[in-house]
Structure formats: structure tokens, C-alpha cells
Amino acid sequence: MRLPAVALLLAGLACAVSAQTTSTGTKWDYIGKYGPINWGKLDPAWKACSDGKEQSPVDIRNAKLNKALPPIEFHYMAGPVEIVNNGHTIQINVGPGSYIMYEGVRYDLVQFHFHHPSDESVKGKLSDMVVHLVHKSADGKIAVVAVLMTENRGQPNALLSTLWPSMPKVVGQTAKISDMVNPGGFLPADRGYWTYTGSLTAPPCTEGVKWLIFQQQMPLSREQLRAFSAIYPVNSRPLQDLRGRKIEASE
């Protein structure tokens, strides 16, 4: 995530027990005086957090079926990754080569990270976790693929089983995973999705982000959920007003 247009996103996509600092030097958090209600006041560059009209996350409901929505074409590659505790989430930085094609545009996968509980909800219900796969096009547009995850006591997530043993527990720590990690392991068999236009879910809350949220949820075990929540008990932003935006559903 060394791409300028996404640098602030990487600095703040989750929670910390104490306020953490972004690349601008401004502290933010999900609780207290540095929490979401004050994000827009903490830094002039974050005005969209309080004044934006297309903010994320949102509650997914009353989605309109759009048969013309194209499938998301995934071209993910397996490779070694870097796992980082960035003070807001556990983030996985990937090497070049993985991308999606959507509406004729190529978006390269830059990183993926996790929120507990999920940022977005479906008909008012939050999921236990969500993985956000963050992509960027050549002209700087951002597309985020969201995969909701639900605890299933007897069904661990295979990809998390590869990642979690190396999960850094201390802010600022990183670890290299030399095993071949393929982000495609997070993708559900049913590729139906919801889509809408929103924002980054953390400062600077930049708008114009294309959200692609899978309708089918994926499992993770209770142990995997507890391992993450022990580090980040809550790292999700409160739901935002749709303000008349439409949510569409693919077939």
C-alpha cells in the first residue's frame, strides 16, 4: 500500500485500544474523543468524515435487482505476503499481479484487512467479521470487495488458518509469510453481490469508492474470531446514512 491515493486508507481502516496516528500525524480511534463522531474535526483533510454525502459503511437493505450488473472477474495469484499490525487492524500486504476486472476496468489488489464486527450490516444485522480486499485502478479509483464472515464453531476458515499463526499482536510489528497465500480463498462459491458508491470507512473518509459486497457469507471458527478480537475488540465504523443512494443486487 505504497500508492499515494490509498496511503491514508492504509493508515486507518480499523480500531486501536488507544488512539493511533495516521501518516498525517493526526490521532484517531473508534472510541472517546478521537472516535468517529469527531473524525471530521481532527484534521481539515478529514472534513468528508462529517460533511460527506456518500459515506460508508451502510446497512444493506431494499437492494434493487439489476440484471445488467456484470460478474466480478477475479485474477488472484498465490504468493508470499506481509502481515502487519498497523494499530487499527491486521493488514495483509500482497505482491503485484492480483487484480479484478469490473465494468471493463482493471483494479489491482493492494492489500486486505479485517473488521470486527463487520462495518456493513445486512437488514440491520452485523456479521462477526468482514475482510475488505482493497483494489486500485491505474487512474486512482478504489474498489473494495467485502466478504462477510460468520462464526461457525466447527468450521475454521482455511485461509485464516494460514495467516493467524503469524498474526502480530503488538502495534507496529510485521511478519513475513513465505507460504503461497491466495486471497481467492476468501471468495464464496456464489458470486452474487450488492454494490453502491460510498467512501473509505476511516479517515480521511474519501468518497467515490466502489463497494462490491458478496451476498454469501463465509465461515470462520470461534477460535479464529477470538484470536482477532483479543487484539481488536471493536474496529468498525458506525453505519452511515444512505442519503438517497441506491443499492443494487446482481443476479
How far apart are the C-alpha atoms of 246 and 24, rounded to whole Å?
33
Active site residue 88: yes
The catalytically annotated residue of 88, 113, 115, 135 is 88
How far apart are the C-alpha atoms of 110 and 123, rounded to whole Å?
30
At 186, list the grid cell. Answer: 476468501
Q: Where are the alpha helices (DSSP H) in the chain?
A: 7-11, 39-42, 48-51, 158-163, 222-229
Torsion of CA 194, 116, 163, 223, to 10 degrees: -120
C-alpha triplet 64, 106, 46: angle, nearest 5°:
70
Peptide bond before residue 117 is cis, with ω within 30 degrees of 0: yes
How far apart are the C-alpha atoms of 51 and 122, rounded to whole Å?
24
Q: Give the contacts of 233 (CB within 8 A, at least 6 positions apart).
A: 15, 17, 116
Query: Which DSSP helix (H) or strand (E) runs through 208?
Result: strand 207-214
Catalytic residues: 88
